[in-house]
Amino acid sequence: MSLLLAPMARLALLVVLLVAAGVCVLLYEPQRLLSQGWPPGLPVGTGVLLFAAAYGVCTAAFVPRPLLNLAAGAVFGSQFGLVAAVGGTVVGAGLAFGLGRVMGQEALRPYLRGRWLEAADGQLSRHGFRSVLAVRIFPGVPFAAANYLAAVSRCGWFPFLLATALGTVPNTAAYVIAGASASSPGSPAFLVSFGFIAVSGAVAAAVAWRKRHRLAPSAGAEPAPGHPPVVTAAPHGP
């Protein structure tokens, strides 16, 4: 039992679970919803709940969210599709965050020694809500990677989930509307949503490029918890 509770053993189990989820996604091919639609006769409310649950599992297994958002719009339309997609986003983020926090945090924190990783860990630990909100509003970091990185940090549950729910609405809505109006690509709804996706992606890339230096820790920054301070020898006089 003690072996199973060891940090590296839990990390290995997390990797196995993620691989198994990825294999299931490949076998069941959720992208078929784009062409086949939802099974007929199923109530909309039940379908939204089931879709959100499946969406959450897929995102935890690194399935790209844009594909799932397009599917939500194509299957349920704009309104119900947005509910299903945002609900699934929160479910998937919470699932990944919980798995990473319980099974990977203790094993991975000792390896957060790179400059970028230490800086990201510091931002998420001290300013969890606004850091996660910024990542969600300006998509640049892959969704699943942001979830597991936040789990390894000291970001709290509530700030993480609230920032995810609020920050993903604009981009998610754009993809859902594009999926709902994909049958008429010349319609204003499709053109506006597609334009928003293109502009938000360009803005995210520009912001990440201009603000990248902020991730670099300053010379006087305190060392991350658990890391020994860097000691430099004083210069000797002549």
Give Cα separations from 185 to 66, 73, 188 (angstroms).
17, 14, 8
Write down the domain spans for the chain. 7-215
pLDDT of residue 47: 86
| Spatial CB neighbours of 195, under 8 Å, sequence gap ≥ 6 | none
Other CB atoms within 10 A of residue 85 CB: 29
Per-residue confidence (pLDDT) for residue 83, from 0 to 100: 95
DSSP tag of 231: -
Q: What does pTM read for this prediction?
A: 0.71
pLDDT in the model for residue 93? 93
Instruction: Give every CB contact of residue 189 below 8 A, 6+ residues apart in sequence.
Output: 78, 177, 180, 181
**Residue 100 CB coordination number (10 Å):** 22
Q: Per this entry, what is the length of the chain?
A: 238
Q: If you compute the radius of gyration of the chain from its CA atoms, what whole number of angstroms results?
A: 21
Q: For the chain, 238 residues long, give each residue's pLDDT as a single digit of tens.
A: 444 456 566 556 656 666 666 666 666 665 565 556 666 777 888 889 988 988 888 887 778 888 889 989 988 999 999 999 999 999 999 988 888 787 655 555 555 555 555 666 667 777 778 888 888 887 677 888 788 888 877 788 999 999 999 999 999 999 999 989 988 888 888 889 988 888 887 777 776 666 555 545 444 444 444 444 444 444 554 4
